[in-house]
């Protein structure tokens, strides 16, 4: 979103900003709002699932949705005990 001088903005937020004069948020701001406002959703999962959700959010913050390839992002490396 370099055209809006906000390279870390989500394309959805850019469209809302242009169309409705909504605040232009970065992907990090959007993720933090999600974590804060949907805390109960995240807390409903165990530690491992919670970590996966946080990892996905961090990937969104870093790369945005255009870089998401769901089959690739969900690949889990084999555990060391699986080789035994």
Q: Give per-residue pLDDT as tens, 23-82.
A: 888 999 999 999 999 999 989 999 999 998 998 899 889 888 876 766 666 666 665 654
pLDDT of residue 28: 94
pLDDT of residue 74: 66
pLDDT of residue 6: 76
CB atoms within 10 A of CB 60: 19
User: Residue range 10-27: average pLDDT?
Assistant: 89
The DSSP secondary structure of 15-80, one letter per residue, reads: HHHHHH-----BHHHHHHHHHHHTHHHHHTS-HHHHHHHHHHHHHHHHH-GGG--HHHHT--PPPG
pLDDT of residue 32: 94
Are the CB atoms for 3 and 18 separated by under 8 Å? no
């Amino acid at each position: 979103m370099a055209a809006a001088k906000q390279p870390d903005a989500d394309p959805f937020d850019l469209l809302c900003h242009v169309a409705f004069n909504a605040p232009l948020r970065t992907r990090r701001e959007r993720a933090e709002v999600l974590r804060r406002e949907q805390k109960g959703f995240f807390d409903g999962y165990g530690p491992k699932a919670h970590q996966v959700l946080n990892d996905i959010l961090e990937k969104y913050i870093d790369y945005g949705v255009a870089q998401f390839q769901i089959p690739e992002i969900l690949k889990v490396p084999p555990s060391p005990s699986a080789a035994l």
